[in-house]
Structure formats: structure tokens, C-alpha cells
Structure 1
Amino acid sequence: MDGKVNQYDIGLDKNAANYVPLTPLSFLARSAAVYPNHTSTVYEGRRFTWAETYARCRRFASYLAAHGIGGGDTVAAMLPNVPAMNEAHFAVPMTGAVLNTLNIRLDAPSIAFQLDHGGARIILVDPEFADVISEALKLMSGPKPLVIDVDDSSFAGGKRIGEIEYEAAVAQGDASFAPRYPDDEWNAIALSYTSGTTGNPKGVVTHHRGAYLNAVSNILAGGLGQHPVYLWTLPMFHCNGWCFPWTVAAAAGVNVCLRRVEPTKIFELIKTHGVTHMCGAPIVYNTLINAPDAPKGTAARRVTGLIAGAAPPVAVLEGAESIGIKLTHVYGLTEVYGPASVCAEQPGWDELPAAERAQMKRRQGVSYPLEEAVTVLDPETMCEVPRDGQSIGEVMFRGNIVMKGYLKNEKATREAFAGGWFHTGDLGVLDEHGYVIIKDRSKDIIISGGENVSSVEVEDILYKHPAVLFAAVVAKPDPKWGEVPCAFVELKEGANATEAEIIAYCRSQMSGFKTPKMVVFGPIPKTSTGKIQKFLLRNQMQSAKAISA
């Protein structure tokens, strides 16, 4: 009724007593206050408590603030999973600044672009990456950032190129520094660059609210509970480690830092520290499964793992169980803070046969607990596709765990948010329960003789072959069919297989038009986060076509 007064709108306003902007920085303060003597971090011979970590973060934040770092500034980090990288996730935003974690596998021109584009004023550098950072600084067109070295006694080699070492900077700071919490939870907390395959990558800007909510969602979706022991097999530079620096702080857990993924080291850390949780791409788990010293059966400690990817191979899901790791599949992108959907388990799944259980668990699933929605829409009509497991559309997200947008790229931001949803570019279907199942990236679908072939489906069959360690399928130009599947296969150590054998195996498992018509054996290029670089394989096919023409 017009003119009606809502009694709940009068005199019931936000104030300091009933409203505080959400920020994951509050997790650290709480754990330091409630569990000051609990271990927060272990790395090689070093160990910190939550009280010590909080003090160290405030000291470094104080150092940054003393050097003029504040709201709107960017601090970059070129670091492996060492304690300083975890601390940077708190210390940098404590000043109001934004953390830009750099991919440690990038080349100098890519790093120079990101430092210029993001306007980094300070950069933390591990000695292992001193040479590439030195070269990147020379290539920058804008002001050069102050370099802070982060020495690591466990790493032999490298050199110092900075003006001060991290521990000295921490020592110079004030442990009583008052963190500058955001007055608006929409304020930026991090800047991450997409791994673009052509042109310059896009700078994804995330905010305090989303980081807070996704950190809590990780606890709920991953079953972390209180005081988990988390092993850092996932790079912290990748989507801010899927927000797990903030997640572990919220759960008052233990960060078991790990410089690089080495199976023997990982099994040792799991046993020594009683690791309960870990995250990673399929390549990480596949590497552990096939390690010669992998513990089996009762010898394996029970660990809960989150696995991300378009669709983890059934062989990986089954193999992980054999070495004690129970996997839950999550899915997301840099633009949604890492994982923002989960294949939520249903009662009865554990009683299913292993192969059937794995098929259920490889779906991309439903929205994260604190994400609003994930679904599959027709990008033309923006209507949800039928829940028939067949109708293909684009996977889209909506909610608080979605980026602010792309830095200095309004056009790309508008396109990404067209129709009120974030467009992932992934093609998928919905099953009868509303679970999302990705079929492929739009650019990875192979159209052979007018029929759509999902590269993911073919790869899943290839991974079941006992000799196959890694597999990737891309389109090969064909004069008759337009395109046909070509399989790139990396064999397990000591294993043998021929092209004819692989093709025959696939033909026995799927329709003939989906079967690879060519098999290329050898190492498959991967990113530092374990994703297979299909664009390089597609380029290889296109180059072969050009040469033959």
C-alpha cells in the first residue's frame, strides 16, 4: 500500500555496536587472542604460534606503513609456500593495501607487465627467483618497486637483490601496530592475474567481503572443523591459495609450509605433523598416487583433500583412496576466489562401488555454502538449461564470492557480468539433482563431422589405461571431418604403450567418432599449478597443419 511506513526502517540503523565490515584479518586477531600458544606455522626447523604470527604480521605491516604503503597501493610477492607468503596475506591488507601474488613460473616480460599494470610499490622476492625479477625490473616502463628479499635457509642457491631482508624488516616494525581494517568490506584485498593464453592477462580484483566468506566456505565445504593441520601442496600464489591462508587462521589450524611438491617430502610431513587436510590439482594427487614410496592401505594416514579441475579423472579419485586421501571435488576460477562450487556428498555414497562412487564425486556440483548460486545457463536467453544431463550451456556464478572486476578493463568486466551472472566460459550440463557437470571449455570442444566431442570425456578414458600418467586431448585439423581428436600421452615410468594400443583401448570404451585418431607420446606441458597447457598443444597441431600445407 502506497505511503505505508515500515516500522523496521525507523531508528534501527547500522552503528559501531551492530555492524562491522567483514574482513578475514579478524580471523588472525581472534586466533591469536583465543589460541595464542597453539602452533600456527611449521616450516623446516621453524615454528610459530598464533600469537607470534599475529605479532610478526603487525610488525611487517608497521614497516610497510612507515614506507608509505596504504590504501590503493599494491605490494607484490614472488614467493613459494614459505611462512612469509602466508604472513603477507595479513600484513599487506593490514595497511589498507592490496596483495598481488605472482606466479613463480612466469617469465620476465609477464612479470614486468603485471608489476606495471598493478602499480606495485614493493615486491617480496625469494632468492630462487632473483634473476627473473631482476630482468623484469629492467623491462618495467613505470616506477620500480622497493625489493625485499625473503631468504630461505632451506634453499641452496639464488642471490639477494633487495634493499633489506624480510626478517630485518619485521624486526624494524612495531608489534603494537593497529591493523587498519577496511571501513568498507567492498575494499580490494588482492590482485591476481589470470593465466591468459593470448595477449596480456587480466587483473582480477577481489574484496575483503568475498575473501572472508570464501574462507569460511572452505571450512564448511572441506570439513576442516577446528584446528586442522593443513599441508600447503597448493601454491599460495594461485587465487591466494584458494583463500586458505585466511581459512586456516579462521579455524586456528596449523600451516605446514612446503617449498615444492615432492612426494617423499609430502608423505614425511603428513606422518610427522599429522596432516589432516590438503588441496591441489589432479596432477598433484596423480603424482602422489604413482610415487614408488606411497603408503598403501592401513599404512596410509587418513587425509581429506580438495581437488579442483574441470573433471578429475576417475582413476585419480580411486587412486587417492588407495593411499589414504579422501577427495572432495571443488570447482572455480580466479574470478571467484578459487573454488566456489563443491560436489556436495550425499548419504550413501560411501557404500557405492569405488568406480560408481568416483563417477558421482567428479561432478562440479553445487554452490559453495556462502556463494549465492552456480548453474548452467543458455548464454543467449540467460535461462537455465533443462536438468537432463544433455542440454549444454555455459556455467555461471552469482553471489558474494565473485570478484569486483578486472583492473583497468571496464569492457572485459562488463562482458564477464553480462545478464547479472559471471560467465566462466566453461560448457556444462545440469543433472537431475541440479549438480553442474562440466563438459569442456568452449574452446576445447572438438567438432568432428558436425558432432561435438568432449575432450574431458576422452581424457577420462585415457586415464583409465594402466600405462597412462597424464593425458590431454585437443582438436587436430582434418580435411574430411574438419577436426578429429588427437591425444597427447605421458606414460608412467617404466610403462610402454603404442599408438595403436591406445587408440584400440579408447575405441573399446567409446563411440568411434570420439576416439583419438592420433597419439603423441612425451612430456605434457603444465602450469605451475598443475593445469595442462592445452593452448600449447593446440598451437602444435595448428603448426603441423601449416607445415603440411
Structure 2
Amino acid sequence: MTAMKPEDAVRHVIATDPTFAVHEVDVRGVTFKAFKNIPPTVPSLLAAGWARHGDGALEYLAYEGEVLTYADFTSKVHRLAHAMRDELGVRQGDRVAIAMRNYPELLALVLAISSIGGVVVFVNAWWTTEELDYALRDSGAQIVFADSPRLQRLEPLQSELGLTLIGVRDAEGQSAHDLTALETNAASDTAPVVTIDTDDDFAVMYSSGTTGHPKGVVQSHRGAVNAVFSWLMQSVVAPLVTPPEPDATAPPRPSALVVTPLFHVTATHPLFLLSLPAGAKITLMHKWDAEGAVRLMRDNSITRFLGVPTQSAELMQAALKMGETLPAMDYLGSGGAKRPGAQVTQLAEAFPNAGIATGWGMTETNALGIGMIGEDYTARPESAGKLHPPVQELRMLDDAGNDVPVGCLGEITVKSPANMRCYLNKPEATAETMQDGWLRTGDLGVLDEDGYVTILDRKKNIIIRGGENIACLDVEGALHRHPDVLEAAAFSVPDDRLGEAVGAAVQLKNGATLTCDDMATFLQGHLAPFKIPVHLWVQRDVLTRGATDKIDRRAIRTACLDNLKVKV
């Protein structure tokens, strides 16, 4: 087979494989390119993947010694769907929240809720009671499936918000409803009959923004499935670009290890949802442990690893220590944050059979965006890659919304059916971000003549700690609760392991003192632990301001890191 250029391979697949045929669609008055023949909704992915999973017979979901076949998992989804509709009264359009660590039940609940037309509200499992209170009020979700730590944080809100709490795993027996009982008493294990439009809401995922509270990103069914089939198409295009040797053995069944939280798109969309039509097996880790991940991947011939850069680095260090090269792994991806360029070649040497990959996407794009793998990446380790075809369009814009020339700094702006519908309850933020179908991402970069994008800066005041987005104003708002803090500025601090950590500078009242440990103790219960600053600078003078008399966060950060010569 003669190798094709990537662009030619994409055109060939679109023209010859009906699965990936593309047409134009009108969505709320905007015309998009979209896949023509793919499943219309997220729950329909379950049936679409049946044959790829051995007509349900293959192992699909593994966790801590527990294994479900695809048929077992499908039956579980259907039983929970009937139970939610019959016992809990969930109806189309109702928002139902999930608050738990990465358990198998979380995956089943996503499909069960959406299969009866409900809208999944993904709750950050690290949030405090205060943060949970905001998200539940904002989303209007009154039914929440939760494990024990989350249930305990939700109980103070139950009466005031009228919550129905369903205990999962270690929370069973702690509330009026248990998931096991709901599933056991379900009336049927066949798919519920519900008419769901492809442009109906599928989920609300919360993403930190420059405002203090996180923003609820409303994703549609069309958006999620178009993202999934954009990634699936890559597996069809790849052998056309790099043909296998004539005597090469057939590739193994894809198998993915999930190591990032399932309340983020990095885990839900390109791992879980993609696994359904791709015929891939999913393995969940109870808690991230690099050596444990190496053992799981080695012993279970796991082919796909996608985590934040910190996890890639720790996986590599553990594998080298254990003398493992993980030959079954053919994909080692990075999402959530930029991987250090120097690490790319190191990973390629440590895992010679794996294609080292990078990706950029957003909650607002259903994780679809830019990426690259293999030689492209090792040749351009500082780049984010190219736009994933075929339904996305890309522009680089200045502040006035004009296209900038190739090679000039601009805001990455994308248009595709995978873009969010809106920010929940935030019309002004939606209008600022979504313009005629184009999503202004807030990320600044440069597009070269070959179509590669290099991301250089963020317009948003966001700290990315190990792939977790933290709004500076969220941290500052909590710091201002302290009675001795007059003013506060939060910013990113370089961290060798996590990429970035949270730092803060505060102006104190005269005579007051505040240590970093004192501050951390005070913030417990107000902020999730990962948001609490690990470095604190204290001063009596007002914080540095810019020309408009606003706090100059960049200048403060520079002064704290450079002038004070603090080692980080």
C-alpha cells in the first residue's frame, strides 16, 4: 500500500466510508460541517458499539478485580434508566448530578441518565460543600448520585435544596436511596423508548473561568458524538498515512486506562465515550499510582494511556525503575495541560512502541481540538499540533475579531458542531465566547504555514495545576474571607511535578500576621484542597496596580518570584 498524505487520506475516508460522510447542518441558525451517518445521541453509542464488543460478550469494564462484559454493562445501564424514570421520576430535560470518584457506576449513570432524556451534571469530586451548593443551585439538579465523601458534603444542603441523594458504593445505607436497590428492583433491562433530538442537551460540565464561580458548559448530544467520531476517524486514517508492513500482525483490541477524573472531558469523551464505538476495553484506577499503573498496563496489555503531563512523566519514571517498556502501549497522550518539550523525546525512548501524542481541547469543545502524534510531535515538541479533521474550522483572531496573518499571535478560535451550546445561566459570557458558531477560546497562539498551532499564552487568568483549571478570582474570593486580608492576588507558580501550582500575595491589616500554614487551615472548607495556595507572600503595602488601577497580577507574580528570589 502506498502511503497517503494526511489531507488526502482524510478526503479518501470521507468519500469511501459512509460512516464518516460529512454534510452541512443548520444548528440554531448557524451552518456547520458535521458527520452525516453517525449515531445521533450519546446513549445510541451503546448500541452502535455492540458488534465491536463481540456482540456484548467481550470484557468491557474493569475495576479493582471487578469485570463487566459489554452485555453486563449494557444491562446495568438499562436497569438504572428504568429505575430513575419509574422510581425517582426523572423526565426528559431533568438535570441529574453525579458526585463520586471514578467508579464503574459513574459510567453507567452517564448513559442511563441521558438515555431517558435527562441531562448529566458532572460534579467535581474535590469540591467543598460551598462549591457543591453553587453548582447545584446553578444547575437546578435535585437528584444526586454520590459516594460517601461526597454524600457527607451534600447532607448539609439536602433540606434547603430539596435534594434526593442516592448512595453509591461506600455511601449505601447512608441515605434513603441506594443505587444497588434501584438497579435490583428495576422493571426491565431493555433500552427505554424515548425520543431524543440530537441537539438536545446531553450534559453540564463545570469549567473554571475568569469569574469567581465555575461556568456550567452545556454540551449537546450532537456535540459529543461529533467529537467522538472525529477521534474514531483518526484510527481509520492512520494506516493510510503510515501503512503497516505486509506481514504485520493485526493490531490488538484497543484498551484504555483511565487515570484522570471522569468529571473532566479528558476522561469522559476521548476515553469512555470513544470506547463504545471503538470496541475498546476500559480499566479504571482507584487512585493514581505510577507503579500500579505500570503493572496494570503490563498485565492487561493496555494499549492507550491519556493523562496530564505529570502522570506521563511519573509513568515513565516508574517504568524505568521497574525495567518495563510496556510494549502493548501504542498511544501515550497528554491532555489538560502542556507537556514540557524536553519530555517528548524521553518518553519516546522509554516507550519505543508507543506513539507519543499531545492534544488541546476544552470542555467547551467536548474535548475536540488540536493534536499530533509520533514523528510530527517529536519534531515539534513545543507545538500543540494540527486541527483534528473533518468537521472543525480554525481562525486566529485579534482582539477586534480580525484574522491575523500566518505566523502572528492570535486568539485560537474554532467552529464545529462539537462546540458547546452555551454557558448555563450566563448569557453575557456566552455571547462573549460564542459568535456565529465560532468559539473564542481565550488561548493565544501562532499558526504556521503547515497548519501547526503553537500555544503561547492564556488571556484567561487560569492556573492549570496538573490538568486541573483553577480560576484566580475563585482563590482570591476565598482569601478575602479572612478577616486580616485587605487584598489578594492569586497566580501560577512553576512546579516541577504539576506544571503549575497556586501562589498568592496578600495585603494584611496593620499588625496582623499570616503564615502559609495558617492560610491553608483557614481555607479548608472554602476551597477544594487543590486550589489552596502552596506559596504565600505577605505585605503591608497595597498590591501593585496597572494603568487602570486594577491589580496587576503579572507584575505581582514577577515581583514575588524574581525580586524575592523564592525557590519554587
Question: Normalization by structure 1: what TM-score?
Answer: 0.72
Taking only aligned residues, the RMSD between alpha carbons, in angstroms, comes to: 3.7
The 3 A distance-change label for structure 1 pair 444 and 163 is closer
- One-letter code of the match for 2:92? G
1:260 paired with 2:260, answer no
Give, in whole Å, the separation in 2 of the partners of 1:544 and 1:295: 51
How much does 1:270 deviate?
A: 0.4
Structure 1 letter corresponding to 2:64: E
Q: CA deviation at 1:117?
A: 1.2
1:161 aligns with 2:182: no
Report the CA distance shift for 1:374/1:335 in structure 2 as closer, same or farther (over 3 A).
Answer: same
2:145 corresponds to which residue? 124
| Equivalent of 1:413 in 415, 430, 434 | 430
1:329 matches 2:329: no
Which residue, out of 122, 141, 147, partners 2:165? Answer: 147
In structure 2, give the amino acid aligned to 1:378: D
- CA offset at residue 428 of structure 1? 0.8
Instruction: Report the Cα distance in structure 2 between the residues aligned to 1:35 and 1:278, rounded to whole angstroms.
Output: 25
Q: Does the C-alpha gap of structure 1 residues 296 and 218 become closer, same or farther in structure 2, counting only changes over 3 Å?
A: farther
C-alpha distance in 1, partners of 2:318/2:540?
35
Q: Quick check: 1:242–1:339 contact (8 Å CA) kept in 2?
A: no
8 Å Cα contact 1:109-1:136 kept in structure 2: no
- In structure 2, distance between residues paired with 1:363 and 1:137: 47
Q: Which residue of 2 aligns with 1:338?
A: 367
Structure 1 unaligned blocks of 5 or more: 1-17, 153-157, 351-356, 446-454, 460-471, 475-484, 493-520, 526-531
Q: Which residue of 2 aligns with 1:400?
A: 417
CA contact (8 A) 1:370 1:401 kept: no
Q: State the Cα distance separating 1:246 from its structure 2 match.
A: 1.7
Aligned to 1:155: none
User: How do residues 159-308 of structure 1 correspond to structure 2 at under 5 angstroms?
Assistant: 160-196=173-209, 198-221=211-234, 227-239=253-265, 241-243=267-269, 244-291=271-318, 294-296=321-323, 298=325, 301-308=328-335
Shift of 1:130: 3.0
Task: Give SS of 2:151's match.
Answer: helix
Mapping 1:494-505, distance limit 5 Å: none
Instruction: Write the distance in 2 (CA, Å) between the matches of 1:332 and 1:102.
Output: 20
Q: 1:360-439 residue pairs with structure 2 within 5 A?
A: 360-383=380-403, 385-388=404-407, 391-418=408-435, 420-439=437-456
Report the alpha carbon displacement of residue 206 of structure 1 after superposing the two structures with TM: 0.5
- Partner of residue 23, structure 2: none
Q: Which string of whole-angstrom CA distances, capped at 9 and with x for unpartnered residues, describes residues 316-339 of structure 1? A: 323322432532111111101123
Q: Read off the aligned partner of 2:445 and give its amino acid letter.
A: G
Residue 47 in structure 1 maps to residue 53 in structure 2: no
Local SS of the residue matching 2:313: helix
* 1:22 lines up with 2:40 in the alignment: yes
The Cα offsets for residues 105-130 of structure 1, whole Å up to 9 and x where unpaired, read as 11111111111111113111112333
Change (3 A) 1:24 1:543: farther
Contact 1:341 1:367 in 2 (8 A): yes
User: Conserved in 2, the CA contact under 8 Å of 1:94 and 1:179?
Assistant: yes
Cα shift at 1:95: 0.9
**Partner deviation per Cα, 1:405-450 (whole Å, 9 max, x = no partner):** 11121111111113541011111111121211110102569xxxxx
Specify whether residues 240 and 407 from structure 1 end up closer, same or farther in structure 2 by C-alpha distance, changes over 3 A only. farther
- Assess, with a 3 A threshold, how the Cα gap between structure 1 residues 292 and 240 changes in structure 2: closer, same or farther: closer
Paired amino acid for 2:431? R
SS at match of 2:50: helix
Aligned residue in 1 for 2:565:
none
Q: Give, in whole Å, the separation in 1 of the partners of 2:365 and 2:203.
A: 12
Rounded to whole Å, the distance in 1 between the matches of 2:189 and 2:392 is 38
Structure 2 distance, partners of 1:290, 1:171, is 44
Matching residue's letter, 1:39: E
Residues 260, 266 of structure 2: 8 Å contact kept: no
Tell me how far apart the structure 2 counterparts of residues 193 and 103 of structure 1 sit (CA, whole Å): 8
Secondary structure at the aligned position of 2:380 is classed as helix
| 1:500-511 equivalent positions in 2, closer than 5 A | none
Q: Deviations over 1:289-314 (max 9, x none)?
A: 33386444656553412212453201
Question: What is the correspondence of 1:18-97 to structure 2 with a 5 Å cutoff?
Answer: 22-32=40-50, 35-66=55-86, 67-97=88-118
Q: Is the 8 A contact 2:406 2:449 kept in 1?
A: yes
Q: 1: distance between equivalents of 2:442 and 2:532?
A: 15
Structure 1 counterpart SS, 2:169: coil
**Equivalents in 1 of 2:414, 2:320: separation in Å?**
41
Deviation of 1:543 (Å): 6.2
Shift of 1:240: 7.2
Aligned partners of 2:540, 2:292: CA distance in 1, in Å? 40
Q: Cα 1:490–1:306, aligned 2, differ >3 Å: closer, same or farther? A: closer
CA 547–123 in structure 1, closer or farther in 2 if over 3 Å, else same: same
Q: Which amino acid aligns with 2:65?
A: G
Q: Distance in 2 between matches of 1:182 and 1:240?
A: 28
Q: Displacement of 1:183 after TM fit?
A: 3.7
Are 1:336 and 1:401, in contact at CA under 8 Å, matched by a contact in 2?
yes
Q: Distance in 1 between matches of 2:199 and 2:156?
A: 35
CA distance in 1, matches of 2:210, 2:98: 22
Deviant stretches of 4+, over 6 Å: 18-21, 222-226, 532-535, 542-545
8 A contact 2:207–2:216 mirrored in 1: yes
CA distance in 2, matches of 1:387, 1:344: 23
Hey, what does 1:529 align to over in structure 2? none
3-state SS in 1 of match to 2:47: helix
Instruction: State the identity %.
Output: 24
Q: C-alpha distance in 1, partners of 2:233/2:47?
A: 21
TM-score scaled by length of structure 2: 0.70
Pick the aligned partner of 1:441 from 458, 478, 483.
Answer: 458
- The one-letter amino acid paired with 1:340 is G
Give the whole-Å Cα distance in 2 for the aligned partners of 1:544 and 1:283. 36
Inter-partner Cα distance in structure 1 for 2:292 and 2:38: 42
Q: Deviations over 1:494-539 (max 9, x none)?
A: xxxxxxxxxxxxxxxxxxxxxxxxxxx99xx9xxxxxx989958x9
Counterpart of 1:343 in 2: which secondary structure?
Answer: strand
Could you report, residue by residue, the CA deviation over 1:16-51 in whole angstroms, capped at 9, with x for unpaired residues?
A: xx9897113222113335521111111112111111
Q: Sort the Cα spacing of 1:226 and 1:218 in 2 relative to 1 into closer, same or farther, 3 A.
A: farther
Distance 1:197 1:542 in 2: 23
8 Å CA contact 1:23–1:182 kept in 2: the answer is: no
Q: Where does residue 488 of structure 1 map in the other structure?
A: 494
Unaligned runs of 5+ in 2: 1-35, 239-250, 473-490, 499-515, 521-528, 545-555, 557-568
The higher relative CO (CA closer than 8 Å, separation ≥ 6) is in 2
Secondary structure of residue in 2 paired with 1:100: strand
1:186 aligned counterpart, secondary structure: coil
